[in-house]
Copies of this chain bind each other. A is one copy, B any other.
Amino acid sequence: MFTYDMSKAAGPMYKYIYERIKADIESGNIGPHEKMPSRRALAENLGVSTITIENAYDQLILEGYLEAEPRRGYFTCDIGDRTLIETPVLPRTRAVHKKDIQKLRFSFSSDKAPAGDFPFSIWARLNRRTLSMMENELLEIPPVSGILPLRQAIADHLSHFRGMQVDPDQIFTGAGTEYLYGMLVKLLGSDLTYCIEDPGYKKLKKIYESCGAVCRTARMDQNGIQVKSVNDCKADVVHISPTHHFPTGITMPVARRYEILSWANEKEGRYIIEDDYDSEFRLTGSPIPSLKSLDAGGKVIYMNTFSKSLAPTIRISYMVLPPELAEKYMMTLGFYSCTVPNIEQYTLAAFIGEGYFEKHINRMRIYYKKKREEVLSTIKYVLGEENYRIVENNAGLHFMLELKTRKKDSDIKAALENEGIKIEALSDFYMDGKIRNTHLFIISYSNMDIDELKKALKVLKRQL
């Protein structure tokens, strides 16, 4: 017993001895409550130093395999009945961590940002400067809302660009809007009913439901969400994008804005989440004023993201809370850590504060306007004016294409899919389960290759 073959030791000897004794206890070769040899005796037996045995015993004591009893020596512990622990053969995980990349030749609805877009060199420079000049600040734990310089920069940007006067203390940054929605459900309550636009962005329903809340849908008309429908679904919180609805592109007119604000003001605890995800990309005219800027009653929670305006993988979004809610947030959820890395926060604060963000937006607006025109004239050239109508309002990175056809939306989609082309219909964005044939298809043009578009449109034309 205890004559381990020391020639087999790879690595430190104490570790080899520790492992062998552990294995003997685990397997039951050494039973519980047995007296172990003294350090000196085992050291002599194995031809190692006493300190080696001591190190091995110490580790075994720490992990609970041995106990040292004063003046009596070392004893094995009872590591208990392990028969209850089954050892099934675990299935190899089949989890799919890749976004399902089908072999697509072309997609009419890709929202991938074009690589040429992102101001890599400026970002890298500001990043480097932040890393070299702000060592202390970078290690300082920020409040849950984010560092003040970033919140100040966002407040200034909202003032210049959106005409919104907000206090930096109303601003809360987070690692993406989805994260912020989750925090909002924590803040407002998962026992409330949340209501989203139908048709609309289906993922929102999944997000609210995964947070434990009830999520209903309210119908849209040509002016946006219908207040009657919001009332019918007994919503407490309504989530809308009044500037530029996805996917219809509808801008909510001011009358409907006042109507929905009235709805919120009628009852304590009602709120509107204004999702302003692509307001930067109004391609002509002035920006549409935000709903928040009409909100005298403190009922609008404004949300925006740098995913659309910078890059989807930047993971910085923010919300502007009414003062009352901002205070409640700090009181009830202020213990949470901010989810945005300090490095990114300081870099973005400099990027906005030093004017690069505005320049970037302007550059992108020109780029997108040009791209949009190219895409529109390509559509005209390939499909022929008589075969379609464009439904758009000069905003955002997508528009709708109405096809003059009697074919079902699903048939057109299936036919294109057979040729490796993905296209989404407005009817896909309805959540009431009814089958529709709107003949309206979504064109997300920001990253479209014109030659590939031509080929895809030719396939589409054959389907009309």
Contact = CB atoms under 8 A, between A and B. Distances in A.
Interface of A: 15, 18, 55, 58-59, 62-65, 77-82, 84-88, 90-99, 112-113, 115, 117-118, 120, 123-124, 127-128, 131-132, 135-136, 138-145, 148, 151, 167-170, 175-176, 178-179, 182, 186, 190, 203, 206-207, 210-212, 223, 251-259, 261-262, 265-266, 285-286, 288-289, 296-298, 311-316, 322-324, 326-327, 329-330, 332-344, 393
B142 A313 contact: yes
B92 A323 contact: yes
A179 B339 contact: yes
A185 B343 CA distance: 29
A167 B124 CA distance: 33
Closest 9 CB pairs of A and B: A64-B253, A175-B339, A93-B323, A313-B342, A87-B296, A175-B175, A84-B262, A124-B131, A64-B254
A262 B341 contact: no
A289 B63 contact: yes
Contacts of A343: 127, 313-314, 344
B93 A167 contact: yes
Contacts of A168: 97
Contacts of A339: 175-176, 179, 315, 339
B95 A330 contact: yes
Contacts of A253: 63-65, 77
Nearest to A99: B143
Nearest to A299: B85
Given A64-B253, A131-B127, A252-B64, A330 B179 contact: no
B139 A97 contact: no
Given A63-B251, A115-B135, A254-B79, A324 B91 contact: yes
A220 B332 CA distance: 28
Contacts of A96: 330, 334
Given A81-B262, A88-B297, A115-B139, A55 B341 contact: no
Contacts of A123: 131
Contacts of A255: 64, 77-80
Given A80-B259, A85-B297, A179-B179, 6 more contacts: A62-B288, A80-B262, A96-B330, A97-B144, A341-B341, A344-B344
B286 A18 contact: yes
A124 B120 contact: no
Contacts of A337: 176, 178, 312, 315
Contacts of A85: 258, 261-262, 265, 296-297
Contacts of A88: 296-298
Best-buried of A15, A123, A253 by chain B (most CB within 10 Å): A253
A175 B186 contact: no
A379 B203 CA distance: 57
